[in-house]
Amino acid sequence: MLNFDTQLWIANDALKRRAPNIVDDACVLHLFDEHGSDPRVLELGIALLDADWHESHEELGQHLQWLRAPERVDALYRASLRIYPYHYDGGIAIRRRCTWALADIGDQTAFDALPRLCGSTDRQVALFAFKRLRGWLRERPRKRFVYSPRLD
């Protein structure tokens, strides 16, 4: 297996060259499995989640959900609203995963993103966000941070 610096170089080169075959390769996704909490890898994850030229958004969303990284709230919010044309349904599973990832972060910034998603014109995304808000307190064990909003 390649060392961390080599994997990071390959992934950043793929991003610069917009090389979907490299991004979709297990090597880049392995980088997130093994070194996902490294700030350089998290930044790469945001850039790749925002990129529209590859088809690994669901895997990236899954890694970001698992990491529960509060620095990634804005990227997850944007990904929740994006349409993914390479999926027959526009990527609804990816968008659902991003709402789960926001809820799993569990801090105030992530919480505040969910009501904004509830106002989305995409009814499915709005419903996903509503479900995460409705289950916020019940799902506390899943959360990285324990933000307890006043829900009255």
The domain ranges of the chain are 4-142
**49-84-34 Cα angle (round to 5):** 30
Residue 38: Cβ-neighbour burial (10 angstroms; 0-12, 13-18, 19+): middle
pLDDT bracket for residue 111 (50, 70, 90): very high
Q: Are 26 and 59 in contact (CB under 8 A)?
A: no
For the chain, report the end-to-end CA distance as a whole number of angstroms. Answer: 53
Q: Tell me the pTM.
A: 0.87
| DSSP-based three-state secondary structure for 55 | coil
Best mean pLDDT range from 48-52, 86-90, 128-132, 144-148: 128-132
Contact 79, 98 (CB under 8 A): yes
